[in-house]
């Protein structure tokens, strides 16, 4: 008889497997052990058919009872339950005890099929001979943006053209905590706690004191508009009563 593709599902795995109807139940359980990690004696198998009916795949004599006795159909689900107590089960998702291999940097640099080798071949990133000048141009661009916009510490501003995000410039400069970032950032303390931080980033505090309220945000200069932006009064439009 032709093999039948079934979805084999257990607590730690789910995969498509081809099942031979002429196998006995015992044969099936032995073949499922390396797939599910469950010993044959601890497997309880059930078949969920296309009509959502659940049928137990079991028999008094599992060595002679073959799978063709059950209504197998393509892509039906075969559920395998581990009957062992929790203390006897192996946790295949726990990798804390697995020794992790870290390739030495010298060995990685010698490989010809790595991302690093591809970057070298394509002359990308730091392997681009024009990279230093491109980086300087980017830094100079941010500096020019700051100068043209009149961004200085202590200036009132708004962020992203949003009047609900008004505040005061508290920092202008680089952020070493952001890996790969070059050029200046602008740190703004917003009037309302609608920011991303409290004036610190990556463990470095740029202004203020530690707070649960997030008034701080760091943005690139092009998102900052300096001007006479007073603190909004939520009550100013209310009529007197």
CA distance 96 to 92: 11
Of 18-22, 33-37, 50-54, 113-117, which gets the smallest average pLDDT? 50-54
Decide the pairing of beta strands 204-205 and 43-48.
unpaired
Domains of the chain: 4-85 (3.10.20.90), 149-226 (2.30.30.190)
> Is 0.85 surpassed by the pTM of this model?
no
For range 92-116, the mean pLDDT:
84
Residues 6+ apart with CB under 8 A from 60: none
Region 208-224 average pLDDT: 93
In our burial notation (b when 16+ CB lie closer than 10 A, e otherwise), range 170-207 reads bbbeebeeeeeeebbbbbbbbbeeebebbbbbeeeebb
pLDDT tens digits along 140-170? 999 999 999 999 999 999 999 888 899 999 9
Lowest mean pLDDT among 26-35, 92-101, 104-113, 116-125: 92-101
């Amino acid at each position: 008889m032709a093999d039948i593709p079934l979805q084999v599902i257990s607590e730690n795995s789910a995969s498509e497997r081809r099942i031979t109807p002429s196998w006995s139940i015992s044969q099936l359980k032995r073949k499922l052990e390396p797939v599910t990690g469950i010993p044959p004696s601890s497997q309880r198998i059930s078949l969920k058919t296309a009509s959502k009916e659940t049928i137990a795949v079991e028999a008094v004599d599992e060595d002679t009872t073959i799978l063709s006795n059950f209504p197998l159909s393509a892509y039906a689900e075969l559920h395998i339950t581990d009957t062992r107590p929790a203390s006897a089960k192996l946790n295949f998702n726990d990798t804390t005890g697995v020794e992790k291999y870290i390739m030495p940097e010298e060995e990685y640099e010698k490989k010809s099929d790595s991302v690093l080798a591809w970057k070298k071949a394509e002359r990308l990133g730091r392997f681009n001979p024009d990279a230093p000048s491109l980086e300087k141009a980017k830094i100079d661009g941010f500096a020019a943006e700051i100068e043209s916009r009149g961004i200085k510490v202590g200036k009132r501003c708004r962020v992203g053209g949003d009047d609900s995000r008004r505040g005061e410039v508290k920092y202008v400069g680089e952020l070493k905590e952001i890996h790969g970032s070059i050029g200046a950032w602008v740190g703004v303390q917003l009037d309302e706690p609608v920011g991303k931080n409290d004036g610190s980033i990556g463990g470095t505090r740029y202004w203020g004191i530690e707070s649960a309220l997030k008034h701080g945000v760091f943005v690139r200069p092009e998102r900052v508009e300096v001007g006479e932006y007073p603190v909004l009064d939520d009550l100013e439009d209310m009529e007197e009563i």
